[in-house]
Amino acid sequence: MGGSTSSIMIWGYTAKHGLKILFLGILCAVSVYVFVFLIGKGLYVPAVMPLIGSGLISYIFLSEKRYPIRWLIPGLLFLAVMVVYPIGYTFVSSFTNVGTGHMLSKDQAIDHFLERSYTPDNAVAYNYTAFADTSGDLALILEGADQMILYVDGRATDIARSDPRLVDEDSDGTPDRFGNYSRLTIPETVQRLSVIEDYRIQYKDTIIGLESLTKFRTRSSQYSYDPDSETMTDLRTGMVYTAWEGIFTAPDGEEIYPGYKVGVGPRNFVKLLTNPQISGPFAKVFLWTFIYATLTVLLNFALGLFTAILLNDPFLRFRTVYRVLAVVPYALPAFITILVWRGMLNVHFGVINDIFLALFGSGARIPWLQNAMWAKISVLLVNLWLGYPYMMLISLGALQSIPGSLYEAARVDGATWWQRFWTITLPLLLMPLAPLLIGAFAFNFNNFTLIYLLTEGGPAIAGASTPAGATDILISYTYNLAFAGERGNQLGLAAAVSVLIFLIVATISAVNFRMTGTLEELSKNV
């Protein structure tokens, strides 16, 4: 069809069409390549996604009726890949046992056992020589203590040293050619090593495998697997291990690892709600997360609005300078500033306590990060410093949009500054800002960076006997659960907590939309 770039119509197609089809062709070709590549790795769900994506894009771009959607489709596809897919994946994971000891798929775990081999007592070691013919096919000559084996085309046969096909041109004792195969040098052999490594040479009733660069050796498989009964048998001991909840288990309870991922139904959620080790702190952590996120939004908004009103005063000199300075905390990367704050709040080495000591004497050493109450205050203060510039910026913008005539009218009516603030400024500000405030709430609800870098969830609580600290919020607590409990990673359980957090945040968002709708109704009546 029209790959032409000329501006002349060819068979009814213009150059623009040609480019479009070329682009779509490349897109489809790439997605087919990725599909084949991912299928080869056994990743079926991710493999289908680019196909669906490119198919959808092609349909929309080629169909005149779907014209408007073409501007939305890139965003929608990215939404699917970056938001919907991870949420779905987390949701699915929350119903599995994925975690330390259960990281592989069942097939991978079975392969792992089937690859285990050991050297039997009567093992024979073979030196070997590799040959290749002009088309690159390999032949191997294995030399044991008292036999020579030829391995070619997947079959092993005895071969005599005097065989006429073996030619030793330089008479060094090693044949240089075998029929039309010629010997490989060591670097050439090394190049083919990963192929040779996979050979399992069946010779009489033994299996011979590559052991090192220069040697083959008799090997015996350690396990055999029976797919019908789902049992793994250790051929050396005769012990039979049955697949049971993601692990091969012997009748006496002995487990062999690795285990594999398997669905466990709602067990993670049940554990979350019934295990006192987890559910005990869950309620407390949930409460603090709520208090922390609410207070953060209120404090940050209050300070942000206050500075915005100050900086909005047309009679203030150097307004721009102050505005720039006030934005600094927002402009610096939080990763760095939080760590700086952590250093400044250090009880013995921090500059803040140094100042307090200089001002108020030696009794004024405040345990900023050591005491539960002070640590909570520290979290709120640092977050205030980090967050108020954002609130100031959005308030500044919103303040400009309030018509000055309203204030004039209020002044004429004799309203005080307070009255004007409460009855004009705040209601008119909240209308556009409410969604942003709720967004800030949702953001701080999951503000892992702040908690993890500033307090790591600490300090520990005396007598708590659980892994949650005084400033842990749900997301940092989830992190602890996921990476620091039992045998390390309890990803399934952590996914279950994530699903709960998602539901909470989704509820907040739903409320957000409803409130926004309500406020719009309100604004129409103003």
Partner 1 sequence: MLTGLFFVANASEPGKLLIWADDTRAPIMLNVAKQFMQVYGVEVEVQEIESGETRGQLATAGPAGEGPDILIGAHDWLGELILNGLIEPIVLEPATIAEFNPVAIDAFKWGNLLYGVPYATENVALIRNTDLVPEVPATFEELLTVAKGLTDLEAGEYGFLIQQPDPYHTFALYTAGGGYVFGKDADGVLSPCDIGLDNAGSIAGAVILDQMVKDGIEIAGAGYGEVTGAFNAGSLGMMIGGPWTLSDIKANSINYAVSAIPTIDGNAPGVFVGVQGFMISSFSENKVLANLFIKDFLISTDVMLGLYIEGDRPPAYLPALAFLGGNADIQGFAAAAATAVPMPKIAEMASVWDAWIGALELIVNQEQDPATAMQEAADEIRALLGCE
Residues in contact with partner 1 by CB under 8 A are 30-31, 34, 37-38, 41, 43, 46, 50, 53, 100-101, 103-105, 108-109, 112, 115, 186-187, 190-197, 210-213, 257-259, 277, 343, 346-350, 357, 362, 367, 369-371, 458-460, 462-467, 469, 480, 483-489
Residues 6+ apart with CB under 8 A from 90: 495, 498, 499, 502
Helix (H, G, I), strand (E, B) or coil at 288: helix
Q: Identity (one letter) of the amino acid at 214?
A: T
Cα separation, 410 vs 36, whole angstroms: 70
Closer residue to partner 1 in complex, CB, 299/357: 357
Closer residue to partner 1 in complex, CB, 4/370: 370
- Tokens at residue 206, please? 């033994």
Minimum CB distance to partner 1, residue 294 (Å):
27
- HEC-encoded secondary structure of 227-283: CCCCEEEECCCCCEEEEECCEEECCCCCEECCCECCECCCHHHHHHHHCHHHHHHHH
Beta bridge partners of 142: 128, 149
User: Taking the mean position of all CA atoms in its chain, how far away is CA 432?
Assistant: 34
Closer residue to partner 1 in complex, CB, 343/397: 343
Closer residue to partner 1 in complex, CB, 49/429: 49
Cα separation, 515 vs 511, whole angstroms: 6
Question: To which residue do tokens 């600290």 refer?
Answer: 469
Closer residue to partner 1 in complex, CB, 38/150: 38
Closer residue to partner 1 in complex, CB, 412/462: 462
Minimum CB distance to partner 1, residue 452 (Å):
13
Minimum CB distance to partner 1, residue 154 (Å):
18
- Whether 438 and 507 have beta carbons less than 8 Å apart is answered as no
Closer residue to partner 1 in complex, CB, 438/491: 491
Minimum CB distance to partner 1, residue 436 (Å):
32
Cα separation, 391 vs 197, whole angstroms: 63
Minimum CB distance to partner 1, residue 32 (Å):
11
Cα separation, 60 vs 432, whole angstroms: 35
Q: Identity (one letter) of the amino acid at 474?
A: L
Closer residue to partner 1 in complex, CB, 387/469: 469
Minimum CB distance to partner 1, residue 496 (Å):
17
Cα separation, 187 vs 193, whole angstroms: 10
Minimum CB distance to partner 1, residue 380 (Å):
20
Minimum CB distance to partner 1, residue 181 (Å):
20
